[in-house]
Amino acid sequence: MISLLLLVLAMALVTYIPRLVPLLWLRDIKLRPFLKRFLLFTPYAVLASLIFPGILQATTSLTSAVAGGVVSATLALLRVNLMFVVIGGIAGVYLMNLFL
Amino acid sequence: MATPVSQVTPLPNKDAFRSGMRAGIPVAVGYIPIAIAFGLLAKSFDMPNVITLAMSLFIFAGASQFIGVQLIMAGSMYWEIILTTFILNLRHFLMSASLSQRLETTSNRFLAAIAFGVTDETFSVASTRDESTRGHFVLGLNMIAFLAWNVGTWIGVFLAFGLPVSVQASMGIALYAMFIGLLVPSLTRKPVIVVAAIAVLTQAILYFGIAPFLPLSPGLSIILATVVAAGAGALLYKEDET
């Protein structure tokens, strides 16, 4: 338990540092262009790597996970508010599970 | 003293803070089901409640909390979990960097408080609002998102077992739905599409081609795929087309 709590605090620290350092010290520093582009692309690369293959095991069956993903992607394409993208995904999984 | 007519009287700090909280309501509402799903997931893995609640209180980063719980329960090494968390959240560096250019706020303690609440969602809202030059506005926005995230986690841990099992089982998709909701609207520019495609392709190669033969944790493959895809994007698109 104590070691888990220490792990959580370590995770908190490595999460906080990238959030804090630029706000305090980056005003004057110029990033190299390559690094800047790398950081610009990072959010999309992370999101895509998080979605696949993790989503395949997000629910009790592959079919319902894919159904939820398709519903969410459709709603997201229609520029629906993020909250409804999430709720729609949950509903898609729920409904698909009813049929399985 | 005469003031130019064009100059708008700045909002008092209290009003800027309130305005930030109002701007954060959609984020807060979106966070609640995801945080409930997080609480439920941790519970289903028999994670001690204190640890689950501490994660939302101290880390406040959705993706790395979900992945963290999964990695802890899969028995991953602690250094691997910490490294994965670091890499996953390195993206906030750029968001904070962007905020640092925008904020008029000066006090380091104030900036340290704002920094804690920088997430994909709060940043997205802050980037689209003119008021976000005001520290109090961003603080209010981050604060309501943080409150919702923690309230949702408590609900997930202590109340959500009352939900039908079929609903609980459906909530595992919540985080992925949020990722899709964040990624898909950005897929209008070619460089972003290419980077996302390279990331998925790399993940597929690692998942189907390497993982069956070599021990490769989900955390490590996320790190690899991210570095490959973002690196390829930075190499391919030299011009300012990003």
pLDDT the model gives residue B6: 47
Give the chain B residue nearest A46 (alpha carbons): B226
Indicate the residue of B103, B174, B228 with minimum beta-carbon distance to A89: B174
Indicate the residue of B27, B92, B200 with minimum beta-carbon distance to A18: B92
CA quadruple B191, B194, B196, B202: dihedral positive or negative?
A: negative
What is the tens place of the pLDDT at every residue in A23-32?
998 766 677 8
Q: What are the backbone dihedrals phi and psi of residue B214, each rounded to the nearest 5 degrees, phi first?
A: -120, 140
Do both B192 and B237 map to the same domain? yes
Domains identified in chain A, total number:
1
- Across chain B, mean pLDDT equals 87
A11 and B59 within 8 Å at the Cβ level: the answer is yes
Q: Residue A57: which residues within 8 A CB-CB, separation 6 or more?
A: A65
Domains identified in chain B, total number:
2
Please give the structure tokens belonging to residue B209: 């081609």
Contact by Cβ (8 Å): A26, B102: no
pLDDT the model gives residue B75: 86
What is the tens place of the pLDDT at every residue in B186-223?
899 999 999 999 999 999 999 999 888 887 777 778 87
- Give residue A82's domain range: 2-99
Domain termination site, one of B140, B158, B185: B185
B182 and A47 within 8 Å at the Cβ level: the answer is yes
pLDDT the model gives residue B237: 93
A47 and B121 within 8 Å at the Cβ level: the answer is no
- Give residue B227's domain range: 187-242
pLDDT the model gives residue B8: 59
3-state secondary structure of A11: helix
Do both B181 and B197 map to the same domain? no
User: Would you state the torsion angle of the CA atoms of residues B142, B129, B131, B7, taken in this order, to the nearest 10 degrees?
Assistant: 180
Q: Identify all chain A residues contacting B50, using CB atoms and an 8 Å cutoff.
A: 1, 5
Indicate the residue of A88, A92, A97 with minimum beta-carbon distance to B169: A97
Check pLDDT > 50 for residue A91: yes
Greatest alpha-carbon pair distance for chain A in Å reads 58
3-state secondary structure of B58: helix
